[in-house]
Structure 1
Amino acid sequence: MAARAVTIQEVARRAGVSPQTVSNVLNNPERVRPATARKVHAAVDELGYRADAAARRLRTRRSDTIGLRLAPLPAGISGAILDVFLHEITMRAAQLGLRILLYTAADRDDEITRLRELVASGDIDGVILTDTQAGDPRPAWLRDRGVPCVSFGRPWGEEEAAEHPWVDVDGAAGTRAAAEYLIDTGATRIGFLGWPDSAGQGVSRCAGWRDAVLEGGLMNASDADELVTTCPDNVADAMRAATQLLTRHTDIDGLVCASDSLAFGALLAVGPKVRVIGFDNTPVARAVGLSSVDQRIDLVAQAVLDLLVKDGRVVAQAAGSRVITPELRVRSAVIQDPSVLGSDA
């Protein structure tokens, strides 16, 4: 037998406020003092309250809607990858009869606040998380409230212990494929341009390149360290970093980059004399003929929904993972005179 729906009056009594105050907290939070809002949210969480509007729509406690944070667009060309994911996940969800509800949040704590509102109002059945890392509080918060979730991105450092399903791209396999292609086509001195102080994804992408050049017999570990340089993920810094790397090592004839932003900057700096490969296969890479590793976001989106949806319904599933193998897209860059684009490209 279905559980009796909790009323707004019960929430008000538990929080020690009026029903109108509860309504304001849920619908017009700017009208309520933070201390009062915290009491109401605590009562909502404790009682499992769902707003009446949602209850009318969800007699089976379903909205057929999945929440997804619309993150701020990162700097650099590779930020477009989030747009691709959004398109793919929305299209594939629609094919299953589901909707994607986008919400914004400044950080993880702010996101939990927003999720609390969406869960309380019955607007979402599940959540797709992005930008995950070790110690992320969001999966546990959702699990404690019985809200299914899956993350695009592994919980770095906690992959085996993760209690929620996740999908990620094998970055090491991508950069390994890029370096091996350069080796197979005659490159003998291949550098790597990555991100400073990077963890997780950045380390993985560097590791794939390193494994390829060491196993290919091009250099020893000490030599490999000398051929790695890092900079922020933007074109201008990448131009400077690539120029400095080639000034120190004039024999470099190949360069694997952790992103298309870095690769495009390197391409502008070195021109056709060094073969450059990026990562993300962005529209810019395709437009200028830049070789790049395709994350296969279509397969990522499908895997995310496979772990979150069963028989057309959003359901909680046991922790598990899917790792997508990316694919190298080889092209011949058309920029013969990088000076025509200028240093601000």
Structure 2
Amino acid sequence: MTRSPSPRLPTVTDVATAAGVSRQTVSNVLNAPDVVKPDTRGRVERAIADLGYRPHASARRLRTRKSSTIGIRLDPVTNGISGAVLDRFLHAVTEQADARGYRILLYTAAGPEDEIAQLRRLLDGADVDGFILTSTFFDDPRTEWLIAAGCEFVTFGRPWGLDDRGDPRHRWVDVDGRHGVASVTRDLLDRGATNVAFLGWPAESGAGNDRRRGWREALTERGRLGPDEIEALSLSVEDSVSLGADSVRALLASGVAVDAVVCASDTLALGASTVLGRGVPVVGYDDTPVAAALGLSSVQQPLEEVASAALSLLLDDSEPRQRLLRPRPVWR
């Protein structure tokens, strides 16, 4: 005898559609009914009753600590060097969450839209109470979706392209790459370098643009090079050892003198170092185990502090709601 499939349980989205309101309004009726107008609240309550929706864990707010579970996407491995940074962050946030009595649930996604589908599934299935998003980018649709869904979240990385200072809906913690790269560039200039090149990513990268800006500002403020000379030292490639090496090799072949190279990642720094050898200083970014093993100088992100700040913003709703932490140079 063939069993008929079990009927699908109604979700918050179903209630919102039936009542003609947003998911946020349904969430407010479930968690803070006093803020909803009586007639709207009545429509939502009738839809809940008609559908037989049970607001169990999917309607819990994070600070009620009913499930004590936080979701984080496990990023795909793009290479074995810079990918180690998020691994270290996950380890730090998992340890610190455990000390607070919370669990970390990892999920995967092929892209932003797929991740939104995963977020919806995890919320409707009552698997998590809130999220820590990583790898933010320009026009990131994930944050706006979570805001509309009334879900608690914090991002590791700024919502690039948005002027969100003071916006309570956007809680984020990030590392000031601009300051970190400017600092090592100034150090190289103080050590006698003049033509300090920057090897970074294409223009669509928010973090990459921020790091390049720090390099450019440091060179400009010293006044030793003109705008055209600085531009000639600015390189852009995808995050690849071989592409980084090819870009530096092409720069040298063009006749441009190079005293040092600052890179947007340890991956690119490794590529540059294979061309320049030990005679020209090369500084990476992220201070990965590969950089340490090969003796490459790098900029270290304070990942323990990032994890602590992210959890504090998410669990304690602490102020300020946006945290920009400073990295530190590691010279080798």
TM-score, length basis structure 1: 0.77
Could you tell me which residue of structure 2 aligns to residue 190 of structure 1? 196
AA of the residue aligned to 1:22? R
Shift of 1:139: 2.4
Corresponding position: 1:264 with 2:265: no
- What stretches of structure 1 move > 3 A for 4+ residues in a row? 38-55
Shift of 1:243: 1.1
Aligned mates of 2:149, 2:314 — CA distance in 1? 16
Note if contact 2:243-2:271 (Cα within 8 Å) is conserved in structure 1: yes
Residues 305/254 of structure 1: CA separation in 2 closer, same or farther (3 Å cut): same
Aligned positions, number? 295
Aligned mates of 1:77, 1:318 — CA distance in 2? 34
Residues 249/95 of structure 1: CA separation in 2 closer, same or farther (3 Å cut): farther
Could you tell me which residue of structure 2 aligns to residue 7 of structure 1? none
Note if contact 2:58-2:123 (Cα within 8 Å) is conserved in structure 1: no
Corresponding position: 1:86 with 2:90: yes
Could you tell me which residue of structure 2 aligns to residue 180 of structure 1? 186
Shift of 1:141: 2.6
Aligned mates of 1:327, 1:53 — CA distance in 2? 41
Return the match for 1:277 from 273, 283, 298: 283
Shift of 1:138: 2.3
Return the match for 1:65 from 46, 65, 69: 69
Could you tell me which residue of structure 2 aligns to residue 322 of structure 1? 323
Please report the RMSD computed on the Cα atoms of aligned residues, expressed in angstroms. Answer: 2.9
SS of the equivalent of 1:149 reads strand
Note if contact 1:263-1:278 (Cα within 8 Å) is conserved in structure 2: yes
Aligned mates of 1:259, 1:238 — CA distance in 2? 10
Structure 2 spans left out of the alignment, 5+ residues = 27-46
Shift of 1:117: 1.8
Shift of 1:74: 2.2
Shift of 1:244: 1.2
Shift of 1:51: 7.6
Alignment of 1:181-330 (within 5 A): 181-310=187-316, 320-330=321-331
Corresponding position: 1:20 with 2:6: yes
Could you tell me which residue of structure 2 aligns to residue 29 of structure 1? none
SS of the equivalent of 1:92 reads helix
Note if contact 2:139-2:161 (Cα within 8 Å) is conserved in structure 1: no
Note if contact 1:189-1:252 (Cα within 8 Å) is conserved in structure 2: yes
Aligned mates of 2:111, 2:15 — CA distance in 1? 22
Return the match for 1:141 from 135, 142, 145: 145
Shift of 1:91: 0.7
SS of the equivalent of 1:262 reads helix
Aligned mates of 2:201, 2:57 — CA distance in 1? 47
Percentage identity across aligned positions?
45
SS of the equivalent of 1:157 reads coil
Residues 257/154 of structure 1: CA separation in 2 closer, same or farther (3 Å cut): same
Residues 159/295 of structure 1: CA separation in 2 closer, same or farther (3 Å cut): farther
AA of the residue aligned to 1:194? G
SS of the equivalent of 1:20 reads coil
Residues 213/177 of structure 1: CA separation in 2 closer, same or farther (3 Å cut): same
Q: Deviations over 1:96-142 (max 9, x none)?
A: 11111011111222112212221122221111111223433322332
Note if contact 1:76-1:234 (Cα within 8 Å) is conserved in structure 2: no
Structure 1 spans left out of the alignment, 5+ residues = 1-17, 27-37, 332-345
AA of the residue aligned to 2:146? L
Corresponding position: 1:156 with 2:157: no
Aligned mates of 1:78, 1:249 — CA distance in 2? 30
SS of the equivalent of 1:93 reads helix
Aligned mates of 1:324, 1:318 — CA distance in 2? 14
Shift of 1:72: 0.9
Deviates more, 1:164-173 or 1:143-152: 143-152
